[in-house]
Each structure stands twice: as C-alpha cells, then as structure tokens.
Amino acid sequence: MLIRMKNDATSEQIQAVRSQLEVRTLRFHQTVFFGRQVLVVHEVFDTPKLHDASLFWASLLEYEAVEEVLVIPLPVQQRTLSSLKAKKERTTIEVGPLTLGNGHFAIIGGPCTVESEEELIQTAQAVKKAGAAALRGGAFKPRTSPYAFQGLREEGLKRLAAAREATGLPIVTEAMSPEEVPLVAKYADVVQIGTRNMQNYRLLEAAGKSQKPVLLKRGFSATLDEFLMAAEYILIEGNDNVILCERGIRTFETDTRFTLSLGTIPLLKRRTHLPIIVDPSHAAGDYKLVPALAAAATASGADGLLIEVHPNPQKAICDGRQSLTLDEFEKTAEACRKIREIINSVSLISGHDTGLEEQERVIPIPHRLESYLRISQ
C-alpha cells in the first residue's frame, strides 16, 4: 500500500496522514518515490475488516495533500523503488576506493572464507595491487552440511577489519540471520546476503535497516521478478545502496556447478537503476573456467565482478577448487579492465546512458506475415 503525497505537500500535512496510520498501529515507512514523498504501508488489513479498511483508505483521499492511495501488485516493474522510473539516474555505490554502478566498474576479490590473519592481509595486499577495489571473505559461512566448517564468526570479522586497516580496502562479508546483522555491520563495509537467503525476508529487512550497502546474491532458481522484489525488501527500509549479484542458476547442466546466466545483465540494466555485478567463481565451481566467465561477464556489461582468490588454492579450507591464484587473478583483472574499456565505447552493449528514454522497435507478435494475411478470424 502506498500513499503518494502531492508535489507541494508540507511536512505538517504529511504528519497529519502519518498520525492516521500511527493511530491504527500500522507499520509504515516514509520515502521518496517518483520524486514525491510517499508513505509505504507494510500492513494490509485482514478480510473481516475489509469493508472498514476500504473506507479507511478512501478517507485518506480526503486529505488535500494526498494525491493517490494505491496497492502495488506483481508485476510491479513500473512502480517499485528499484525500477528505472523511480530514480532519475542509476545508483552509484561509493565506499572508500570502491565506486561501482552508473558507469563505474570494480572488482572485488578475496578468499571464500577467512583463514589466518597473516594470509588474509597478504591476499588483500595482492588483490589491491592487481586492481581490486574491495576485499571479500566469509566469517559466517552457510554450509549445506552442519558437519562442514561454519566460519570463524566474530574472529573472522576482526581479521577482515585488520586487513582493511592494512590496505584501505573496504570489506564485503555475509550475514546469515537478522540477529547477526548488527555484528556484521559493525565490522563490514558491505553486508552480503547469500544465495540461500535471497528470500529470507527478516534478514533482508535487517540488512535494509543497517543502512550499510547490501550485496544481494540471486537465489539458485530465482526469477528476475523475485530477485528485484527481494531487493525491494531492502529498499523499502530506506536503504538505497543495493548491489545485485548474478552468480549462476540451477539448471539440468552439471558440467559446471551452476549455469551463469549473462542475459540477466542487459535485462536488469533495462529494468533497474541498481548496479549488477557477477560472481563467476561460484557459477563455475572450477578455477579453470573462471577467467573466461569473468571476461564474458565484463563484456555483457556487468558493473563489477566478485572473484574468489587464494594464495594457495590447494590448501584453502573451502572452495579451493574454484579459487584463482594471485597471478591468475591479476591477469584476469587486467583482461577484464581492457574489455570494459571497449564496452564503454559501445552504447548498444553497455546501455549506461540510453536505458531510460530509448525508443524500442515495435515488432508485432505473432509473426508479421501471418498477421497481415489474416483476412477473417
């Protein structure tokens, strides 16, 4: 439910409407939407009160400053906070040396999981030298098996902070439950929401409330609508700094760990102002495929890459199989930066400046010949 105020609504007028919601103990949030103040109401009344509810919403229309009262059903591409219509320009994420989105390209590198502090600092220095703008590393690890290594938890966060201290690189690390978010946000610069938790709505809300930038990974089999709606759970909390991350989807193909779906990049560019990066490491599941997929992701127009790097993959606690060595990472990063330069010069690939007003070719479906020949039906 959205209550959209008029252009010239004063804060007193808005407060009057807020009071009506507060009196009824409705959860809501005030934000700017399509350039106007909007009250986003999280609750919807239950049916027995449906008639009353209807009257209540109708009554709000009598406030002079209220322009419209509306419900947003799916598909919501035209009206959501993530849509291209909700914002004049594409979102840029800026955290220290990390600038990503709206034309800016950045690589985030680091180990799957935090191991020793010494090794982590070495890795951080090396990925920085190779051009990475941020350091990734897991402290809380979501693992398929409860018997597998679960991460170093707060100790891991402290080591990440030490690596930031040593290099200046901002830290990207994952939170797995609402209660963990404050702890993770205390140490991290970007809070990651993992694939398995893309629809863990309480966690999304907590990440939204943290006001830290959030890196949201696509679910194993999430549609783009579901992906954007998960981002909406974060945006609705007033947190605009969401980075979407394509990381491969689950398909019948088992030669790769997941199938990296790069059509996602140009598609999302046409539907949202949020930056989209790609994680080729988890998609591939095998270091040998990572350079090619990193290059492909860059060429598809992605705003950045999230790559697993380990100084000694054979000894990594987890995901060594998909980790690049420091040398491989450096070569891959360099090739990707060069590809990015080419892409930047071809507007029909990058879509960075033309997404919003572009005229589309009108191509009738079904096929033209058939339509033309249809004489009577």
* Residues 314-343 close enough to bind a copy of itself by CB under 8 A: 314-318, 320-321, 328, 331-332, 334-335, 338-339, 342-343
Q: Which two tokens stand for residue 121?
A: 């600092």
Site for a copy of itself in 198-217 (CB under 8 A): 199-203
Residues 151-170 that bind a copy of itself (CB under 8 A): 152, 155
Among 236, 274, 277, 306, the residue binding a copy of itself under the rule CB under 8 A is: 236
Pick between residue 171 and residue 227 the one whose CB is nearest to a copy of itself: 227
Distance CA 259, CA 335 (A): 22
Place of tokens 């999230």: 306
Please state the closest distance from residue 13 (CB atom) to a copy of itself, in A: 18
Q: Quickly tell me which residue has 């191509």 as its tokens.
A: 363
Stretch that binds a copy of itself, among 87-95, 97-105, 183-191, 310-318 (CB under 8 A): 310-318
User: E strand or H helix at 173, and its extent?
Assistant: strand 171-174
Q: How far is CA 290 from the centre of its chain?
A: 21
As a whole number of angstroms, the distance between CA 222 and CA 140 comes to 23
User: Which residues ranging from 116 to 145 are in contact with a copy of itself (CB under 8 A)?
Assistant: 116, 118-119, 142-145
Residue 7 binding a copy of itself, by CB under 8 A: no
CB of 141 to a copy of itself, least distance (A): 10
Question: In this structure, are residues 330 and 371 in contact, taking their beta carbons and an 8 Å threshold?
Answer: no
From 174, 232, 246, 279, residue interacting with a copy of itself (rule: CB under 8 A): 232
Please, which residue, 3 or 14, has the CB nearer to a copy of itself? Answer: 3
Q: How far is the CB of 132 from a copy of itself (least distance, A)?
A: 18
Shortest distance in whole angstroms from residue 73 CB to a copy of itself? 4
State the nearest-atom distance from the C-beta of 90 to a copy of itself, in Å.
Answer: 16
Answer yes or no whether residue 63 interacts with a copy of itself by CB under 8 A: no
Asked if 226 interacts with a copy of itself (CB under 8 A), we say yes
Inter-residue contact 42 to 28 (CB < 8 Å): yes
From 46, 62, 357, 359, residue interacting with a copy of itself (rule: CB under 8 A): 46
In the bound state with a copy of itself, the residue whose beta carbon lies nearer, of 72 and 166, is 72
261-266: Cβ within 8 A, 24+ apart: 262/296, 262/297, 262/300, 264/218, 264/224, 265/297, 265/300, 265/301, 265/302, 266/300, 266/301, 266/349, 266/351
Question: Segment 71-110, which members bind a copy of itself (CB under 8 A)?
Answer: 71-74, 76
DSSP per residue, 194-248: -GGGTT-HHHHHHHHHHTS-EEEEPPTT--HHHHHHHHHHHHTTT---EEEEE--
Contacts to a copy of itself from residues 250-309, by CB under 8 A = 250-256, 259-267, 270, 283-284, 287-289, 291-293, 295-301
Our CB check for a copy of itself shows the closer of 57 and 97 to be 57
Q: Is 32 in the site for a copy of itself (CB under 8 A)?
A: no
Helix (H, G, I), strand (E, B) or coil at 67: strand
Residues with Cβ within 8 Å of residue 73, at least 6 apart in sequence: none
CA distance 262 to 259: 9
Among residue numbers 342 through 371, which ones bind a copy of itself (CB under 8 A)? 342-343, 345-346, 348-349, 351, 360-371
